[in-house]
Chains A and B, each alone.
Chain A
């Protein structure tokens, strides 16, 4: 076997390896980008469900207009913030504003849920049951979307930094992805409901 053949052989092998690594990085990158868009989609879904909830609850809760209005206002505020943040996901100020709007929406929802406890008819209503299942499902989806985003970012970053891949990543400028961390305290706060 001549030196030429050996060199050819090795370079073909390297090329194949490079293509494999490149494809792997692309897969991971798309995965985390998709995960990011999922968060937004699910937030929007929640905003669409809330008016229905308010309407159904309003039929039963004649004397609780304040909490219903509070929820509606918080929802509208958060929805418009979400649209703004969705256009410029890089702008951390916008994302922060969305986070605080989300926080106040959550606490308004928490208060509404507490008030609804006093209306057994409302809780037994079929539409209401469907809606609360949908809402809790959506809450789960938001949580999962954020978690999937973090997992995807982690697996992408790990793949990018490992040895042979790091060369490919540098050559094709695969940048490090950021974890979706919101440092506003309202976002991470869990609404506590006490029956004391």
Chain B
């Protein structure tokens, strides 16, 4: 090993990062080379200089306190105790995320008819569905009773949406909400299927059947009792279609208002 080679490896030698064979070569070279010995000594002095405690920047105690508080505050937001007192349908984000990603896969396997609704409307529907899953925004009226939900809309909107109970079919009604789509007030009914939330947006009008998939959510449009209805959910397309058929086939609740 010549001097130039040795100098390239000297620092790795100081750091004990060389393999045994190379280490031995360096150690063979050093006694006969004052230049490399000097370099080695200089490297060790620099190491000691940099490693001295007075040069180090330990974390200030106020940073330590601040971080401890920040970690605990952040954790409280997602703490298990606050989860367990929240009914599952009030906190669907966690599993809907998983379900949504599963549905991206399922959705890509299902061939949908070409879309007709303007993409802006699809975006609004999905946006509204997602917002509804946020904390305390799912329902304005929480009831499994169609005779409570339907009259609730009276006076809030100028139409009476069909409300049906499908709990016998595995799609229980859980409530209703007033929502806005394209600057219009619309009715939103909330159903659930296992752990999936279905938002059914309803407003007066005529329409043709349509399906779409957006951001992993399935959307199905249909007409029912002179109303435009959009079902939006992370539920798979087959079961969502089943929901739509059941909804269309059922007699709406008799109007009590």
Q: Do A and B bind each other?
A: no
